Amino acid sequence: MNIATPLLDQPTAEFDVTAAVRSVIGEPAAAELDELLQAGEELMTRGETRYAADALRLVALADPLRIEAWHALAACHEQDGDHAAAADVYELGYCLGGEDEPLGLLAVRARLRAGDADAALALLDAIEECAAGDDHETARAALRSLIQRSAP
């Protein structure tokens, strides 16, 4: 049985998240994580972001290097208008997911959308210190410009 079938068939509080977590604890099965990622994305398109976030959070924490899980989980929060929570997820994904710079830059953008320019600037400074190259130099410069324009 697909691990995500109960979640997709009946996304309610009765879905046993603990059982789903236990089924992937230890060495996560890639196929099960793929199924949960797909289920989370499907639930998000249905507008069922609470249940989507549960599935995506499990995938992100079970396999922190699975960057697409962090992106999708943060997108759930953004879809709900909770930019502070989205920033937290992007930032956690950046830290746990191998410092994927696009995740970090999305965290900066979400911090700005949440109205926290100081935290956005501090995060951008930290990302620039770790930046391995100039692949995202234009994005970093654009974000810095946005932060400066948003400062009182």
Rounded distance between C-alpha atoms, residue 70 and residue 60, angstroms: 6
Rounded distance between C-alpha atoms, residue 29 and residue 64, angstroms: 14
Domain ranges of the chain: 1-63, 71-152
- Predicted pLDDT at 96: 82
Q: Return per-residue pLDDT of the chain as tens, 152 residues.
A: 566 666 666 655 555 554 565 565 556 678 889 999 999 999 999 999 999 999 999 898 888 888 999 999 999 999 999 999 999 999 988 888 777 888 889 999 999 999 999 999 898 888 887 766 666 777 777 777 777 777 66
- Predicted pLDDT at 46: 94
Architecture per CATH, domain 71-152, reads as Alpha Horseshoe (1.25)
Q: Which amino acid is at 79?
A: Q
- Predicted pLDDT at 40: 95
* Nearest one of 59, 62, 63 to 76, comparing CA atoms: 59
